[in-house]
Chains A and B, each alone.
Chain A
Amino acid sequence: DADVTQTPRNRITKTGKRIMLECSQTKGHDRMYWYRQDPGLGLRLIYYSFDVKDINKGEISDGYSVSRQAQAKFSLSLESAIPNQTALYFCATSDPNDPAGELFFGEGSRLTVL
């Protein structure tokens, strides 16, 4: 089983619908992140969390919200989806005890908003 699991892997929805992307991890890391990937733009940070009570905005948080339900679970919501939120979304984790540690990514959730 993957260490970082994202559901759904693919989703097509319509403008105005509420969408939730879920992420769970078995690495035991406190830190979790949501990134968005767009062609030619690389990955941009939406939100990150250090623990259940610590949620922080990233560089492109407008239109998104998150919930950290447990150490292992971090969900991203689009309250009212719009077409320019069509993208590939990645969840990632990192070990706060390793100051030079890499991020561990899930397989991604491809969202299409019509």
Chain B
Amino acid sequence: AQSVAQPEDQVNVAEGNPLTVKCTYSVSGNPYLFWYVQYPNRGLQFLLKYITGDNLVKGSYGFEAEFNKSQTSFHLKKPSALVSDSALYFCAVRDISNTGKLIFGQGTTLQVKP
């Protein structure tokens, strides 16, 4: 069965420091992986995705993610965190049945402190 795990409920980082939000996946075949961000009282906004090719994917708001096939991971990163990055982050994998649906992780709350 396909699944996504985000092992950390919350990540705390100081403004200006690098941040990492972890994600691991389990899927047969080649995965399509996604990161979304949810700000308070808002819907999910797409950040980036990995389809194929370069293992380092760049996305919106200065975020990037590193795909590691051997570790089945797709960690979200940013070199220098901003207070405004504080939000709930979701990792997701595309279902292999070609329905277009995404399977989501539990979510990780990122708290960036001044």
Residue pairs across A and B with CB atoms within 8 Å: the count is 59
- Residue pair B105, A103 in contact (C-beta under 8 Å): no
For B32, the chain A residues whose CB sits under 8 A away are 100
- Which of chain B's residues 4-24 have a Cβ closer than 8 Å to chain A? 4, 6, 9
- Residue pair A103, B107 in contact (C-beta under 8 Å): no
For B99, the chain A residues whose CB sits under 8 A away are 31, 48, 50, 56
With A40-B9, A40-B106, A42-B106 in contact, do A101 and B42 touch (Cβ < 8 Å)? no
For A104, the chain B residues whose CB sits under 8 A away are 46
Q: How near does chain A come to B58, taking the closest CB pair, in angstroms?
A: 15
Interface assignment of A105: CB less than 8 Å from any CB of chain B = yes
Interface assignment of B69: CB less than 8 Å from any CB of chain A = no
Residue in A33, A42, A99, A106 whose CB lies within 8 Å of B107: A42
Q: How near does chain A come to B105, taking the closest CB pair, in angstroms?
A: 5
Interface assignment of A12: CB less than 8 Å from any CB of chain B = no
Interface residues of A (CB under 8 A from B): 4, 31, 33, 35, 40-45, 48, 50, 56, 58, 90, 92, 94, 96, 99-108
